[in-house]
Amino acid sequence: MDEYDVAIIGGGPAGSTAATLLARAGRSVIVLERDKFPRFHIGESLLPFSMSTFKRLGLLEKLRAGFVEKFGGEIAEAGGEKAAKFYFKDGFEARTDRSYQVTRAEFDQMMLEHARENGAEVYEETPVSDVAFDENGCELRLNDRSIRAKYVIDASGRNAVIGTKFKLKKSYPHLKKLALFAHFEGVARASGIDATLTRMVRTLDSWFWVIPLKDDRTSIGVVLDATEFKKSKLAPEEFFERALSQQPTMRDRIGNGRRVSPVYSAADFSYRNEKLAGERWLLAGDAAGFIDPVFSSGVFLAVFSGEKAADALDEALTHAARRRRLFARYERAVNHVMDVYLRFVDCWYSGKEFIEVFLAPSAPFQVAPAVNAVLGGNIGNRFAIRWRMEFFYLIVRLQRRWTLCPRLSLKPKSSSPTPSSNAEAERATHAAGLFDSASLRSE
């Protein structure tokens, strides 16, 4: 039976990141991927804090050549009156001003191919049906054979092979959301770097994304409580079309664009595993956990945990006695990222106050650059960011009791005409917010 240092289940961003780094470190590594790439996947908007890992992986050239650069985002309220743009360059202690908007079929294929080029053995159309552990390592069952490895990284995404086997997966009852999404063509874009922004529209009980991809493709989706969709008894396509038609701000964003893909759906995507490491295994990316797509943190966490898992295993393979400490440190680091986003996401969904504060005139003490940094994937280990984020949460809490920032209905204004062009909408909605450029100067 073949024996490897590390076997990786799943060839998405988490698995490919770990595979490339381990292979480069001279470890024998095998990636077992269930599907044949390229394949459709959701998760198209990347964060700038992944760029250092992409650099370490040697992927910067390939990213530049193949994908749309992304310089920030815009969050608008559905009433059509207020929107705030933020640019990564203005984030607190920003290290880079950009990341990428990626068509995942191509991005994932590029990353997996890169792992192969760097020396990992990669098998597509090779699902892992079970993993058994013993004191020397593990045995992975494939369709026609078994292989052995000293360690396994489960990077099988939401399928979570090990989390499911050991019943570690816990979902968040208050985050039972559903997403419907599709690709469009012909959606008008702003000029300059504003054409690269992820644009979000927040309604009373849902939010929409508009993500510009290459070749005139645009990813558009809506996220809402799963119960609302069930109650409607509509098919996903009908529900999606209706949701878009009910929001003038979204209709305006889409303009003459037309849908060119089926409507896809995903549900119950927020969960976490109780343990992220065992004696012989580590969980990475979505297989470890995922906290709602609202802040586009999924691929960031996948790449972050893939990198940390590779580093922990590389060291454990040389110094077996350090394994427990290394794995505990890995678990803490990945849980910390999920904790940061869980708090941010909870704040976003618990009432209108997050968006009211976010779209309010400039906050003091450089809170805006700190929020901007977290939106870019700076998980706030630095005190300077942590206290500013605490201040932001405090304002949001106070806003629940007192009106510190203007209240928003988050409902489309039926009396106000829908701006007929993107440029008109731009003028109508670009009111100064927390991210007013005046508040974005660094210290």
Ligand X SMILES: Cc1cc2nc3c(=O)[nH]c(=O)nc-3n(C[C@H](O)[C@H](O)[C@H](O)COP(=O)(O)OP(=O)(O)OC[C@H]3O[C@@H](n4cnc5c(N)ncnc54)[C@H](O)[C@@H]3O)c2cc1C
In whole angstroms, the minimum distance from the beta carbon of 161 to ligand X comes to 5
* AA identity, residue 327: F
Q: How far is the CB of 126 from ligand X (least distance, A)?
A: 6
- Dist. CA 404–CA 141, nearest whole Å: 59
The angle subtended at Cα 213 by Cα 47 and Cα 238, nearest 5°, is 105
Tell me the three state secondary structure of residue 335.
Answer: helix
- Is the Cβ of residue 313 or residue 360 nearer to ligand X in the bound state? 313
CB of 147 to ligand X, least distance (A): 12
**Dist. CA 29–CA 16, nearest whole Å:** 11
- In the bound state with ligand X, the residue whose beta carbon lies nearer, of 99 and 366, is 99
The CA–CA distances, whole Å, from 320 to 18, 139, 233 equal: 19, 19, 55
Strand ranges for 253-350 from DSSP E? 258-259, 264-267, 271-273, 281-283, 289-290
Minimum CB separation from ligand X for residue 99, in Å? 9
- For the range 327-330, what are the long-range contacts, defined as Cβ-Cβ under 8 Å and sequence gap of 24 or more? 327/277, 327/278, 327/282, 328/277, 330/276, 330/277, 330/282, 330/305
Binding site for ligand X (CB under 6 A): 9-15, 32-35, 41-46, 127-128, 155-157, 159, 161, 179, 221, 266, 269, 285-287, 290, 293, 296, 298-300, 302
Q: What share of the chain is helix, strand, coil (3-state, %, to 5)?
A: 45, 20, 35
Closer residue to ligand X, CB minimum distance, 217 or 388:
217
Q: Which is nearer to ligand X, 182 or 370 (CB)?
A: 182
Nearer to ligand X, 160 or 326 (CB): 160
Q: Cα-flanking dihedrals φ and ψ of residue 79, to 5°?
A: -65, -15
Nearer to ligand X, 161 or 363 (CB): 161
Instruction: Give the number of other CB atoms < 10 A from CB of residue 236.
Output: 16
Least distance between ligand X and beta carbon 291 (Å)? 9
In angstroms, give the least distance from the CB of 309 to ligand X: 11
Cα 69 vs. chain centroid, distance in angstroms?
16
Task: Indicate the residue among 35 and 185 with the shorter CB distance to ligand X.
Answer: 35
Give the shortest CB-427-to-ligand X separation in angstroms. 28
